[in-house]
Amino acid sequence: MVVLNDLDRFHLVEDVIDRLPQLGARAAYFKQAIHEKLVEHKEYIAEHGDDMPVISGWKWGGEKSLGRRATSTEGDNV
């Protein structure tokens, strides 16, 4: 359960926001949304004993299946 160990992508995003002061207030609402998702996830773990399916089933390159364009760093995500 990476979320409980603070190693998930949500915690990483929070860390980036905290370390980039130029984001300032522009990132405040986004950071709050991330925090609320983490609270929801921790409640799910407490009830079900495992990560939410949206977390445990996430894979690199998932946007391909959604028909989105690949990013320029796509080759790094193999």
pLDDT, tens digit (0-9, with 9 covering 90-100), for 3-46: 666 777 788 888 888 899 898 888 888 889 988 988 998 899 89
Given this model, what pLDDT does residue 62 score?
57
Q: pTM for this one? A: 0.59
Residues in the chain: 78
Burial (Cβ within 10 Å: 0-12, 13-18, ≥19) of residue 3: buried
Given this model, what pLDDT does residue 41 score?
87
Given this model, what pLDDT does residue 36 score?
92
Given this model, what pLDDT does residue 48 score?
92
Residue 10 near residue 39, CB atoms below 8 Å: no
Q: Which residue has the higher pLDDT, 71 or 37?
A: 37
Given this model, what pLDDT does residue 3 score?
67
Burial (Cβ within 10 Å: 0-12, 13-18, ≥19) of residue 42: middle
The rounded distance, in Å, linking the Cα atoms of 23 and 43 is: 29
